[in-house]
Amino acid sequence: MTRVTILGSINVDTILQIPRLPKPGETLAMSGKQVAGGGKGANQAIAAARANAQTAFIGKVGADANGKMMLDALQAAGIDITQITTSNYADTGEAFILLDDNGQNSILVDGGTNQEIKIGDIDTAQATIAAADFLIAEFETPLTTTLAAFRYAKSVGVTTILNPAPAKTELDPELLTLTDLIVPNETESETLTGIKVTDETSMNAAATALLQQGVSAVIITVGAKGAYYQTKTEHGFVKAFKVDTIDTTAAGDTFIGALSSQLNKDLSNLDTAVRFANKASSLTVQKLGAQPSIPHLSEILADGDIQKA
C-alpha cells in the first residue's frame, strides 16, 4: 500500500448554484446551495485515501463547528489526523463556490487557519513525513512552511509532489529544486514558465522549462482534454475520459490524490498512473461538490476501463 502525507489546506465549501456569473451591479437568484468539505489539501487526501493509499495529513483547523466537521470527515475517510492541530486564533478556512449551469466554477477563499501552519508544525510532523512514500503540498498554505517540509522530505528520501495552485508569480527557486513531480494545470504552468499552453508542442516547451528549473518530472493537466507528462527521458499525452460534466470542483485535487495512490516511488509508471487519475477525475466532475464527489477505488475500477497501476 502506498503511503502518502499531505501538507495542505482544510476548508468548508459553500456551493452557490447560479445560472451564470452576475454582471457588475446585477442581482441573480440562486437555484441551490450546499455546504460540503473542501480545501485543496483535504480534497487530495480524501482522494488518495479513497483510492486505497495509507494517508496522513498535516494541517490546522479552528476551534469551531467547521473544524470539528472537517476533522470528523477526514477521520471517517481513514486519514491519520494526528498532525492536524487546532488554533484558538483563527477560524477554519472557508471557500465560497459560484457554480454555473455549465458546471464551471469561480471560487472565493478565506484561508483562515490554513495560513497559520508554521515551520514548527513541520518539525513536530517529521516522523509522519519520514514514514511516507510521497509528500504532497499546494499553495493554499504558507510557502515557507512548504519549503521546510520539502527540505526535510528530501533529506529522508521521501518523493515530493507539488501542486502549484492557486497560481503564484513569486516563488522561491529552491522549492522547484526540491520538487520531484510538479502538477500544474495550463494556467499555473503559464504563470510559472511564461509559455501559453495550447497544444502538445507548447506543453512540451512548458514542461521542458520546468525541468530546467530543477524539477524531476512534470504533469500538466488540461481539463477535459487530459494530461501531458514529461521527464528527462520520456513524455506522453493521456487523453481524458469523455463524460457529462456537472461540477468541476475538486477535479484537479482528485487527479493528484488518485495519482499518488498509484505512483511508483521512482515515478517510473507515470503513464498508467495518469490514466488512473484521469478516470478518478472523470467521476468527480459528474457529481456536485468537492469531497462528496470524490470516488472510491471500487468506483474507479468498476467498469473495467482501467486497472490499478
- Residue 253 annotated as part of some ligand binding site: yes
Q: Is position 32 annotated in a ligand binding site?
A: no
Contact 12, 43 (CB under 8 A): no
123 annotated ligand-binding residue = no
Say whether 209 counts as a known binding-site residue: no
- CB neighbourhood size of 70 (10 A): 26
183 is in an annotated binding site: no
Residue matched to cell numbers 471560487: 107
| 140 annotated ligand binder | yes
**Of the listed 253, 271, 303, 305, which one is catalytic?**
253
Check whether 52 is labelled as a binding-site residue. Answer: no
Asked whether residue 214 is marked as a ligand-binding residue, the answer is no
Which helix (H) or strand (E) element contains residue 217?
strand 217-221
Respond yes or no: is residue 266 known to be catalytic.
no
Report, in angstroms and rounded to the nearest whole number, the Rg of the chain calculated over CA atoms: 18
Give the phi and the psi of residue 188 in degrees, each rounded to 5: -65, -35
Say if residue 204 carries a ligand binding annotation: no
* Whole-angstrom distance, CA of residue 105 vs CA of residue 274: 24
Number of Cβ atoms within 10 Å of the Cβ of 198 = 11
26/19 Cα distance (integer angstroms): 13
Q: Which residues are annotated as a binding site for K(+)?
A: 247, 249, 284, 287, 289, 293
* Binding site residue list for substrate: 11-13, 39-43, 140, 253
Residues marked active site are found at 253
Annotated binding site: 11-13, 39-43, 140, 185, 221-226, 247, 249, 252-253, 278, 284, 287, 289, 293
